């Protein structure tokens, strides 16, 4: 019973993260085409950086608690990456450096976007599998 | 005396080179330059002006005093006897060198004239850049050199001389670095000429293209494709100094007052000499995007006389550097007044070193020089230790009231008004206050500094207007926001962790800088601490607010030299007419994109640089990408700085530079500007040392140089037999390796376990902000021999004091009885050899002998003898000749004096080996190994 609900939750959750990343991508392209200045951009995005990391970490821990090992292992690399950034204190966007590092930020955001998209479908699949298994 | 110009053969011009104190001779038809006077066939060279004529010569001999050291050497005047034949023989053939008509010199003159004969005959097509290095003619190995790598060039020359060459091409001359030692004078050769196609400019004016001191490109011929640029491996970048100061004799920037500003509708380019007028002059075609625009109606109207004017006389069509007076569309608000807020550290460290006293006195003395033409300038003074001290200067009384705020966690202004006062109206109270500050705090024993809160207070006070905050601080910020810890750790110096010390320790100074940039506040830092002060972190603030950091390590006003240096530089900064509320944008022809920016500013959008207050003579570097194939014969770069002058006028300064394009790799090499490349490397090296590590930045520069050499070798030389014994580079880049070596040995970049992080951070701040004129000597110091300088050196010539000829930077040049001057624009060393004769020591220092002489910082008094006067004149000239506020310290260095000082002075001789750092020869041989190893093919 638990697995079905867990993955349903995970599907909605990763959809949320997916939209978050789309927002990041849009903001970066806004910056590139000069619709927003770097100070506002960084102030805006920096509010969402830690919540996003936190949300991802929360989901990973849920998988761990429910003993969903494959799903947990799938999330470990990103968890470690985020953790490392926070540990090194360079997770925040720096308005003075943003134009130099923009390419890197964009790559990272696209990568995360793809990651959440794949996660979304994987969780969806696992949810269906779980639901089918529960109601044969 | 006649000037050389009057005695030149037809088709030649003489131009005085202020940096080098000698004439540069230019063949007008070809743009060829050379140091030695050109010779017409059959006419003996005549030297004049600098070289005293034969008639005067005996007089000099009569006055000359001989200081025999050993046997025959004289310490000045009698230059011939101690000139090194290998290096200076060539110089002797130049104005300034030839005093005596000795048989040897006759031979050389003839040789030189043979070298130049071929060129100036009218009608012949040009040899660009023909032999410009006569000194190498006598160097061993030169004779063989012409045979090497130049058959094609020779052939081209022959064709050229037969008149078949058609349009002028950049002629590429290959130099073998291994056989041609660097000559300091080559650094002052102007960059390769910009050869625009005919009729590129609507104006025949020589000022239609920007002077290199305003804007210069690393390549004076832009490759048409990025793959061509990639082949040459030379970085493409612009070096800008849009707000260059005007020295005496510089032409002022023309101002266009009628507010008719013609700009392209699409790309917003300002009209410039490179646009095309079409439709009978009713429209103009933009030189960047080819858009057709209407010519404004008032463009041909002379508003001053109210009558039709002459379009072709308009300054923006004749000058590359112009200033438009901007109409209200260019203003967000009415022009602001200039505001200066002084934040003065009055903690015990600051008071006891005399910093406070010197600073207040300097401010008081310079109140008249602070720009205040319109009487609107405002000033405020805030002192701080661990509390903040505000001074209220109400109208009607000259007695200042001090208001103490000790709550530094939540800074507030104790009074809404009277803290920031109008300078002209409250002049007396300000002076009175400045007199008193010294006494008020003279017994202050409080240790610690609340710099962060003081900055916040200053910011609060001025944020509605914007302006300049000048911070004078003697200690590490320790209280309130922005407090810093001492993170200096000698163990990590020289390791890969060192670059961490060069990055900001806390985010406060960066975020505060962003706030400042928004509110149009700029910060200048004057730092004085004897111990660690975290210059790296504090320098962030000037860096992002277009200010400047000044660092006086272990400042003590008891030493008058320290006080003079600081007072001079601080005074210059105060007197500087700054540009307020400025934004800068560089536009370029289609296909080119500004990709990254280096310098003191905040990048506000992809190509807009925000600069709250632009100081004079600050340099910026911009990397350029070629995004698409360029099809036009020339491209245009235009820098526009929208600013408010410090007397309240909104203006736009526009600097336009047109450069030809080329699809030939050899032209790319032949048009490279080594000075601009070195300036760009300095910026790039500092950036990399912050984002990566110091080793990475050194490796990066080293590797880029090797790539250039490999690219040159594989594409420009035949690479046949004997190639591995060569290290080839084009003649116009032959100083690049030594400049790169200088950069790798610079305090900011050098590999060492001894350099305190504060000194490194300061050196890096200088490397990224100094214009080429100051940066090049900082990388490659100037080295003069004073004991045997030619008789005219140190005397007043036609263009001020004549400097002696510079020597290459190697200690081989140091003679034991000699007196030398080494200067890098920031420091000067007067090197006294251990066998210096008594007479010399007496004449220069007024001391009985070498033993009594003491090394260290000093002021050289002018004594009543010609030698002392000349030396002082030279020192004075060096302090004044460059742009920028810097006033170098003078150190006396004894050959057997204290090791640290001696080693410091010797570290300026960058062609020598020092510890792990290679000598120039070693550097070249590693380069050669790398280049030949990678070149493959046969060897």
Distance to chain B for A36, nearest Cα, Å: 8
Percent of chain B at pLDDT exceeding 90:
10
Residues shown for chain A: 136
Helix extents (H) in B494-619: 498-501, 508-518, 535-538, 540-544, 560-575
Kind of pairing between the strands at B782-785 and B608-614 = unpaired
d(CA B806, CA A70): 73
Task: Compute the nearest-CA separation of A115 from chain B (Å).
Answer: 28
Which three-class secondary structure state does DSSP give residue B905?
Answer: helix
How high is the pLDDT of residue B813? 80
pLDDT in tens, B170-198: 677 777 777 788 888 888 888 888 888 88
**What token pair was written down for A117?**
């998209």
**Tens digits of residue pLDDT in B114-149:** 443 333 334 343 333 333 333 333 333 333 333 333
* Candidate from B513, B540, B603 with C-beta closest to A99: B603
- Work out the pLDDT band at B18, boundaries 50, 70, 90: low
Q: Which residue of A has its CA nearest to B544?
A: A96
A38 with B596: Cβ contact below 8 A: no
Closest partner CB to A100 (pick from B513, B596, B608) = B596
Q: Which residues, 6 or more positions from B716, have their beta carbon under 8 angstroms from its beta carbon?
A: B149, B172, B174, B665, B666, B669, B728, B730
Q: Across the interface, do B510 and A100 touch by the CB < 8 Å criterion?
A: no
B515 min Cα distance to partner chain A (Å) = 9
**pTM of the model as a whole:** 0.79
At residue B37, the pLDDT reads: 64
The SS3 call for residue B580 is strand
Mutation target for A interface from B545, B595, B606: give the one with most A CBs within 10 A: B606
Q: Which of B472-476, B574-578, B712-716 has the lowest mean pLDDT?
A: B712-716
Average pLDDT over residues B839-852: 81
pLDDT value of position B29: 61
Name the B residues in 460-519 with CB < 8 Å from any A CB.
510, 513-514, 518
Q: What is the SS3 assignment for B920?
A: helix
Name the phi and psi angles at B255, rounded to 5: -110, 130
Predicted pLDDT of residue B135: 37
SS3 state of residue B102? coil
**Residue B33's pLDDT band (cuts 50, 70, 90):** low
The pLDDT assigned to B109 comes to 41
How many interface pairs between A and B have CB atoms less than 8 angstroms apart? 30
Query: B592 vs chain A: nearest CA distance in angstroms?
Result: 17
Burial readout B826-852 (b: 16 or more C-beta within 10 A, e: otherwise): bbbbbbbbeebbebbbbbbbeeeebee
The pLDDT value recorded for residue B719 is 57
Half-sphere exposure of A78 (CA within 13 A, CB side): 24
Domains and CATH numbers, chain B: 4-63 (2.20.70), 86-114+137-169+200-334+579-669 (2.60.40.1670), 339-388+402-575 (3.40.50.410), 673-776+917-939 (1.20.120.730), 781-909 (3.40.20.10)
Indicate whether B107 pLDDT > 50: no
Tell me the C-alpha to C-alpha distance, in Å, between residue B10 and each of B5, B13, B38, B49: 10, 9, 10, 20
Cα distances from B32 to residues B110, B131, B181, in angstroms, run 20, 10, 22
Note whether B606 contacts A: Cβ–Cβ < 8 A.
yes
Which tens digits make up the pLDDT trace of B670-682? Answer: 888 889 999 999 9
Q: Is A25 helix (H, G, I), strand (E, B) or coil?
A: helix
Whether the pLDDT of residue B428 is over 50: the answer is yes
User: Measured between CB atoms, does A88 come within 8 Å of chain B?
Assistant: no
The residue among B42 and B429 whose pLDDT is bigger is B429
User: What is the structure's pLDDT at B677?
Assistant: 92
pLDDT tens digit sequence for B443-497: 888 888 888 899 999 998 888 888 899 999 988 888 888 888 888 888 888 777 8
User: Across residues B610-637, what is the average pLDDT?
Assistant: 90
* Chain A contact for B364 (CB, 8 A cutoff): no
d(CA B344, CA B528): 12
Q: Which residues of A touch B513 (CB under 8 A)?
A: 96
Does the beta carbon of B597 lie under 8 angstroms from any beta carbon of chain A?
yes
Tell me the per-residue pLDDT of B859-874, one tens digit each, with 9 for 90 and over: 888 888 888 888 888 8
| Torsion angles phi and psi, residue B783, rounded to 5 | -130, 115
What pLDDT is attached to residue A23? 92
**What's residue B441's pLDDT?**
86
Q: What SS3 class is residue B16?
A: strand
Find, among B685, B698, B678, the residue nearest to B923 by Cα.
B698
Lowest mean pLDDT among B23-32, B271-280, B294-303, B336-345: B23-32
To test the contact with chain B by mutation, choose from A42, A88, A90, A100 the residue with the greatest count of B C-beta atoms within 10 A, namely A100
Neighbours of B779 (CB within 10 A): 28
- Which residues of A are less than 8 Å from B597 in CB distance? 99
> Mean pLDDT in chain B?
78
Interface touch A99/B518, C-beta < 8 Å: no
Confidence of residue B640 (pLDDT cuts 50, 70, 90): very high
Q: Is B740 left (phi over 0), alpha (psi -120 to 50) or beta?
A: alpha
* A39 interfaces chain B, CB cutoff of 8 Å: yes
Q: Which of B518, B540, B597 sits opposite A39 (nearest CB)?
A: B518
CB B336 within 8 A of CB B435: no
Q: A30 CB near a chain B CB, below 8 Å?
A: no
pLDDT above 70: percentage of residues in chain B: 80
Judged by CB atoms closer than 8 Å, whether chains meet at A96 and B513 is answered as: yes
Give contacts of A91 with chain B, Cβ < 8 Å: none
Return d(Cα B642, Cα B324) in angstroms, integer.
9
Tell whether A132 is within 8 A of chain B (Cβ). no
CA distance B380 to B430: 9
Give one DSSP letter per residue of A65-91, joined into a string.
HTT-HHHHHHHHHHHHHHHHHHHHT--
A96 touches chain B (CB under 8 A): yes
CA–CA min distance A70, chain B (Å)? 36
pLDDT above 60 (res B518): yes
Interchain CB distance below 8 Å, B604 and A37 = yes
What is residue B900's predicted lDDT score, i.e. its pLDDT? 85
Residue among A38, A94, A99 minimizing CB distance to B510: A94
Tokens for B99? 């005093």
Most A CBs within 10 Å, among B268, B504, B539, B604, to test the A interface: B604
Cα angle vertex B450, ends B445, B452, to 5°? 165
What does the pLDDT read at residue B469? Answer: 92
Q: Is the pLDDT score of B610 beyond 80? A: yes
Q: Specify whether the CB–CB gap between B360 and B473 falls below 8 A.
A: no
Please report which residue ranges of B291-426 form alpha helices under DSSP H: 348-352, 355-365
Structure tokens at B904: 């410091």
What six digits make up the tokens of A21? 């990343």
Planar angle of CA B766, B768, B772, nearest 5 degrees: 85
Predicted confidence (pLDDT) per residue in B282-326, tens digit: 888 888 888 888 888 888 888 778 888 788 888 888 888 999 988
Could you report the per-residue pLDDT of A27-54, keeping only the tens digit for each?
999 888 888 888 888 888 889 989 989 9
**Residue A71 and residue B95: Cα distance in Å, rounded?**
83
Whether the predicted pLDDT of B436 surpasses 50: yes
Q: Closest approach of chain B CAs to the CA of A54, in angstroms? A: 23
Residue of A nearest to B688 (CA): A100
A19-28, A69-78, B86-95: segment of lowest average pLDDT: B86-95
Q: Which two tokens stand for residue B884?
A: 């920028």
Q: What is the per-residue DSSP string for B175-234?
A: EETTTS---GGGGGSPPPP--PPTT-SS---GGGS--TTTEEESBSSEESSHHHHHHH-P
**Nearest CA-CA distance, residue B109 and chain A, Å:** 55
Task: Give pLDDT, residue B84.
Answer: 40
Residue with tokens 């940066």: B775
**DSSP readout, B695-752?**
HHHHHHHHHHHHHHHHHHHHHHS---TTGGG--EEEGGGTTHHHHHHHHHTSTTT---
Instruction: Encode pLDDT of B728-785 as tens digits.
Output: 888 888 888 889 988 988 888 888 888 888 888 999 999 999 888 889 999 899 888 8
Segment A17-24 mean pLDDT:
91
CA distance A120 to A68: 15
Residues from chain A contacting residue B544 (CB–CB below 8 Å): 96
Per-residue pLDDT tens digits for B889-908? 888 888 887 888 888 888 88
């Amino acid at each position: 019973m638990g697995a079905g609900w867990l993955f349903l939750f995970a599907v909605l959750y990763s959809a949320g993260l997916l939209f978050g990343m789309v927002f990041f991508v849009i903001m970066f392209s806004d910056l590139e085409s000069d619709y927003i200045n770097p100070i506002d951009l960084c102030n805006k995005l920096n509010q969402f950086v830690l919540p996003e990391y936190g949300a991802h970490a929360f989901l990973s821990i849920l998988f761990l608690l429910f003993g969903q090992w494959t799903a947990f292992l799938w999330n470990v690399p990103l968890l470690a990456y985020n953790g490392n950034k926070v540990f090194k204190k360079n997770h925040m966007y720096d308005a003075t450096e943003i134009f130099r590092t923009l390419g890197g930020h964009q790559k990272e955001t696209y990568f995360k976007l793809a990651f959440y998209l794949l996660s979304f479908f994987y969780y969806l699949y696992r949810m269906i599998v779980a639901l089918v298994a529960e109601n044969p | 005396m006649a000037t050389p110009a009057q005695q030149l053969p037809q088709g030649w011009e003489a131009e005085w080179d202020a940096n080098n104190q000698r004439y540069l001779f230019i063949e007008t038809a070809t743009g060829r330059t050379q140091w030695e006077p050109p010779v017409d066939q059959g006419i003996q060279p005549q030297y004049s002006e600098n070289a005293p004529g034969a008639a005067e010569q005996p007089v000099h001999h009569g006055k000359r005093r001989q200081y025999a050291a050993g046997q025959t050497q004289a310490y000045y005047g009698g230059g011939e006897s101690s000139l090194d034949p290998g290096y200076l023989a060539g110089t002797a053939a130049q104005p300034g060198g030839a005093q005596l008509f000795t048989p040897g010199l006759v031979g050389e003159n003839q040789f030189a004239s043979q070298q130049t004969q071929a060129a100036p005959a009218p009608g012949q097509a040009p040899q660009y850049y023909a032999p410009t290095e006569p000194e190498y003619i006598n160097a061993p190995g030169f004779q063989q050199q012409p045979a090497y790598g130049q058959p094609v060039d020779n052939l081209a020359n022959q064709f050229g001389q037969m008149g078949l060459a058609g349009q002028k091409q950049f002629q590429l001359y290959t130099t073998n670095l291994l056989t041609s030692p660097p000559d300091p004078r080559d650094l002052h050769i102007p960059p390769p000429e910009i050869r625009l196609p005919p009729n590129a400019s609507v104006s025949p004016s020589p000022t239609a293209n920007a002077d290199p001191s305003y804007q210069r490109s690393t390549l004076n011929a832009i490759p048409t494709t990025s793959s061509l640029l990639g082949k040459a491996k030379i970085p493409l970048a612009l070096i800008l100094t849009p707000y260059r100061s005007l020295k005496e004799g510089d032409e002022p920037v023309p101002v266009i007052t009628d507010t008719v500003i013609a700009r392209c509708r699409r790309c917003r380019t300002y009209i410039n000499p490179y646009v095309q007028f079409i439709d009978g002059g009713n429209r103009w075609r933009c030189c960047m995007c080819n858009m057709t625009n209407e010519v404004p109606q008032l463009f041909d109207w002379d508003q001053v006389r109210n009558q039709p004017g002459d379009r072709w006389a308009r300054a923006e069509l004749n000058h590359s550097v112009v200033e438009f007076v901007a109409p209200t569309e260019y203003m967000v608000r009415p022009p602001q007044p200039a505001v200066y807020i002084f934040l003065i550290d009055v903690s015990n460290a600051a008071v006891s070193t005399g910093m406070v006293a010197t600073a207040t006195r300097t401010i008081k003395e310079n109140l008249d020089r602070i720009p205040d033409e319109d009487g609107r300038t405002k000033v405020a003074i805030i002192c701080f230790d661990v509390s903040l001290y505000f001074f209220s200067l109400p109208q009607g009384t000259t007695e200042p009231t001090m208001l103490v705020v000790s709550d530094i966690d939540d800074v507030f202004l104790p009074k809404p008004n009277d803290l920031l006062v109008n300078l002209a109206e409250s002049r007396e109270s300000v002076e009175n206050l400045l007199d008193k500050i010294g006494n008020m705090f003279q017994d202050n024993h409080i240790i610690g500094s609340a710099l962060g809160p003081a900055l916040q207070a200053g910011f609060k006070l001025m944020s509605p207007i914007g302006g300049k905050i000048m911070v004078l601080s003697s200690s590490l910020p320790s209280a309130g926001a922005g407090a810093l810890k001492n993170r200096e750790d000698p163990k990590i110096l020289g390791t890969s962790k060192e670059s961490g010390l060069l990055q900001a320790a806390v985010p406060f100074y960066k975020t505060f800088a962003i706030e400042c940039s928004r509110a149009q506040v700029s910060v200048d830092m004057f730092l004085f601490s004897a111990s660690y002060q975290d210059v790296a972190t504090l320098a962030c603030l000037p860096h992002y607010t277009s200010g400047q950091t000044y660092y006086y390590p272990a400042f003590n006003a008891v030493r008058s030299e320290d006080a003079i240096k600081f007072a001079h530089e601080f005074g210059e900064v105060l007197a500087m007419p700054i540009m307020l509320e400025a934004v800068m944008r560089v536009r370029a022809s289609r296909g080119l994109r500004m990709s990254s920016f280096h310098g003191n500013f905040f990048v506000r959008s992809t190509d807009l640089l925000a600069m709250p207050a632009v100081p004079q003579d600050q340099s910026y570097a911009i990397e350029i990408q070629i995004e698409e194939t360029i099809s036009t014969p020339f491209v245009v770069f235009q820098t526009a700085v929208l600013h408010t002058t410090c007397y309240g006028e909104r203006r736009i300064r526009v600097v336009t530079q047109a450069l030809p394009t080329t699809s030939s790799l050899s032209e790319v090499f032949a048009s490279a500007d080594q000075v601009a490349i070195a300036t760009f490397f300095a910026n790039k090296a500092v950036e990399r040392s912050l984002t990566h590590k110091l080793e990475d930045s050194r490796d990066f520069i080293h590797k880029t140089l090797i790539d250039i050499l490999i690219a040159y070798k594989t594409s420009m030389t035949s690479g046949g037999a004997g190639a591995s014994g060569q290290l080839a580079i084009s003649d116009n880049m032959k100083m690049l390796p030594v400049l790169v070596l200088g950069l790798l040995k610079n305090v900011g970049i050098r590999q060492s376990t001894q350099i305190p992080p504060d000194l490194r951070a300061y050196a890096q701040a200088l490397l990224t902000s100094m214009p080429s004129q100051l940066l090049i000597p900082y990388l490659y110091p100037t080295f003069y021999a004073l004991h045997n300088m030619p008789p005219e050196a140190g005397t007043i010539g036609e263009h001020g004091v004549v400097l002696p000829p510079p020597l290459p930077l190697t200690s081989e040049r140091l003679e034991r009885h000699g007196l030398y001057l080494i200067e890098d624009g920031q420091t000067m060393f007067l090197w006294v050899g251990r066998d210096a004769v008594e007479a010399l020591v007496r004449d220069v220092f007024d001391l009985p002998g070498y033993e009594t002489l003491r090394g260290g910082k000093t002021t050289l008094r002018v004594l009543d003898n010609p030698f002392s006067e000349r030396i002082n004149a030279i020192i004075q000239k060096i302090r004044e000749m460059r742009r920028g506020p810097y006033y170098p310290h003078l150190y006396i260095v004894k050959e057997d004096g204290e090791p640290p000082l001696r080693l410091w002075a010797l570290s300026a001789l960058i062609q020598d080996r020092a510890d792990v750092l290679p000598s120039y020869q070693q550097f070249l041989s590693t380069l050669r190994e790398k280049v030949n190893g990678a070149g493959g093919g046969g060897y």
